[in-house]
């Protein structure tokens, strides 16, 4: 793109904006995890449209552990509990606004009530 980058310059990539780029993603601001079911994107850092763990030599050191434990923990929570919102609130009325920081957070934290399955 005809940029001149000086030798030894530190280049910082805005991964947050890549994840919200409408030229890369259909409806980027909607939470649609099913978009990855038929995708060829790999979360291991080689597809630069999708970099949850960074890439290259600076990839997250916890990535191998997270890739194995997060699905196991999530599956256990889904299998052993029924989840609901407090006071019978409707999930469609959740406030999904984000709060910007070092990591993205919900403006109002999600509160769920687990009920053990029998």
| pLDDT tens for each residue of 76-91 | 999 999 999 999 899 9
Alpha-carbon distance of 15 to 51, in angstroms, equals 7
Domain total of the chain? 2
Residue 49 and residue 14 in contact, taking contact as beta carbons nearer than 8 Å: no
Alpha-carbon distance of 61 to 57, in angstroms, equals 10
Q: What is the pTM of this model?
A: 0.53
* Among 21, 42, 60, residue at a domain's last position: 60
Region 4-33 average pLDDT: 87
Same domain, 45 and 81: no
Render pLDDT for 43-75 as a digit per residue (tens, 0 to 9): 776 777 677 777 777 778 888 898 899 999 999
Burial (CB count <10 Å: 0-12, 13-18, 19+), residue 85:
middle
Host domain of residue 86: 68-118
* Among 17, 44, 60, residue at a domain's last position: 60
Residue 50 and residue 44 in contact, taking contact as beta carbons nearer than 8 Å: no
């Amino acid at each position: 793109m005809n940029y001149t980058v000086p030798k030894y310059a530190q280049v910082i990539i805005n991964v947050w904006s890549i994840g919200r780029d409408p030229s890369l993603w259909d409806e980027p601001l909607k939470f649609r995890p099913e978009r990855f079911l038929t995708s060829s994107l790999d979360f291991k850092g080689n597809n630069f449209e999708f970099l949850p763990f960074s890439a290259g030599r600076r990839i997250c050191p916890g990535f191998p552990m997270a890739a194995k434990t997060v699905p196991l923990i999530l599956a256990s929570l889904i299998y052993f509990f029924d989840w609901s919102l407090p006071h019978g609130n409707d999930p469609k009325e959740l406030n999904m606004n984000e709060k910007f920081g070092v990591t993205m957070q919900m403006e109002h934290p999600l509160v769920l009530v687990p009920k053990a399955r029998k």
